[in-house]
Amino acid sequence: MDIAGLDVTGAAKAILSRSLSPIDLTEHMLGRISRIDPHLKAFVEVLSEQARASAKQADAEIRKGHYRGPLHGIPVAVKELYDIAGVETRSGSRVREHYAARADGAVIRKLRDAGAVLLGTTTTYEFAFGFDAPPTRNAWNLDHIPSGSTGGAAAALAARLCLAAVGSDSGGSIRTPAAANGVAGIKPTVGRVSKAGITVVSWSLDHPAPMGKTVRDLAVLLGVMSGVDPNDPSSRNLPVPDYTKALDGDVRGIRIGVPSNYFFDDVQPAVAHAVGEAVTVLEKLGAAIVPLTVPSMEGIIDSWLAIALAEAATYHQQSLRSKADLYASDVRFLLEAGELTLATTYINAQRVRHAWRSSLRAAMEAVDIMITPTLPNTAMKVGQTLSKIGTKEETVFEVSARFCAPFNLAGFPAASIPCGFAPDRLPIGLQIIGKPFEEEAVLRVGQAFESRTDHHLRVPSISGLSA
């Protein structure tokens, strides 16, 4: 059995049939981490003994017939923003050195209740306030970044050091690393998953979110993570569907909007080709392809940035006064810029946000979902500060946020799944956007595409990473 190649669904079946034990599965992952992660640098802390104890408990429970569901005994990695009882959650910063939560955050508690095995914490940009996860490298090419502040989790998943992962998405940090590392990730509708027990980037832009090898794994994880939480007033008291029931591969009659403006401007030719091929696949499956004009994007990214800066500065206000020297210089600069953001700027940004949300909802009335590239390019090189596509030059922030951040601003659900590879063998992501609280449609389309292609089955072939 190729244990490392299993997804959550496959591992769950093997565990339930007793052909694989959670103990052996966890030991296999820990062994891979010890061999591979010194090169990849995806993990901050490996919780070896805690993981072994959880696996042993899961094995005993399952043997007694107390099976909790498809995450029971499954090794999961956690972005170092989530509170895990007794484990240091530094959020990638010296500011929070030696901070250890007394209790699990909401998502961690739900994962434990589902029987998941927490393997360890993965890297993030300091306080997730950037579009990289240093010192982690991209599993497909160690000269490239994993992209996005959840890059550590994505790289670990791509390198098969875990079977699933959880992270966060404030401006694309689940979707961009999913695209750059050839895995799947979904940012649910804002309010679908509790933010309690997660270090804040921006209260109104943050979305806790899962990553998996397949869309079905996303459906399983999202079902476990979702639900109202009294500790998060922004969480919505709505029924949580069984997302896996939507995964029947049938997209006949589903209306898929393909934007004719903005989202295909200034993209790498390989990206445009891969997304175009994905549209063709979905059309052959019976989906109705509908040309779509998205509302004006003027001011969207600037408004997202104004809100992110102001809310982050508010969260960090006290520690910025007492521990400013412990912040990295670039993050400190952003937080200080946030403190200088005028109230009028913040309020006008919120006005743009409400207008964008309303106009996007109106534009999508004629379709069920919309698809775009996740990123305009493949993963950038380590140390690269500018991306050049044709004659257009953009910073790491600009290229990372351009197609993803608008849907944080709107709060709409959006996923990224693998849809191809560039000539340099780096993965390309397809972004699938749905209407609020219609994650089922996003997952349905993603799984249908995935079932007719093999992009998600490819694994990195870097020396030392495929062992």
d(CA 131, CA 153): 13
Task: Note if 56 is an active site residue.
Answer: no
Residue labelled with tokens 């072994």? 52
356: its two tokens: 């964008």
Options 41, 79, 195, 435, the catalytic residue: 79
CB contact at 8 A, 419 and 456: no
State the Cα–Cα distance between residues 267 and 393, nearest whole angstrom.
Answer: 11
170 is catalytic: no
* Residue 231 burial by Cβ neighbours in a 10 Å radius (0-12, 13-18, 19+): exposed
Of the residues 91, 93, 173, 400, only one is catalytic, namely 173
Bridge partner residues of 117 (DSSP): 75
Among the options 21, 149, 170, 226, which is catalytic?
A: 149
Pairing of strands 369-373, 75-79: unpaired
Does the annotation count 329 as an active-site position? no
Instruction: Report in angstroms the alpha-carbon separations of 240 from 220, 233, 461.
Output: 12, 17, 38
**129, two tokens:** 């306030």
Q: At what angle do helices 48-63 and 22-40 cross, to 10 degrees?
A: 160
Closest C-alpha to 406, from 346, 347, 361: 361
| Burial of 163 (C-beta count, 10 Å sphere; 0-12/13-18/19+) | buried
Classify residue 455 by its DSSP letter: G
Residue 77 forms beta bridges with which residues? Answer: 120, 165
Contact 225, 165 (CB under 8 A): no
Q: How far is the C-alpha of 369 from the C-alpha of 18, rounded, in Å? A: 40
**Burial class of residue 394 (count of CB atoms within 10 Å of its CB; 0-12, 13-18, 19+):** middle
Q: In this structure, what token pair is assigned to residue 183? A: 């895995």
Tell whether omega for the bond before 135 is within 30 degrees of 0, i.e. cis: yes
Residue 237's CB: how many other CB atoms inside 10 A?
9
Q: Which of 310, 316, 340 is nearest to 127 (CA)?
A: 316
Q: Supply 126's token pair.
A: 């300091």
What amino acid positions are annotated as catalytic residues?
79, 149, 173
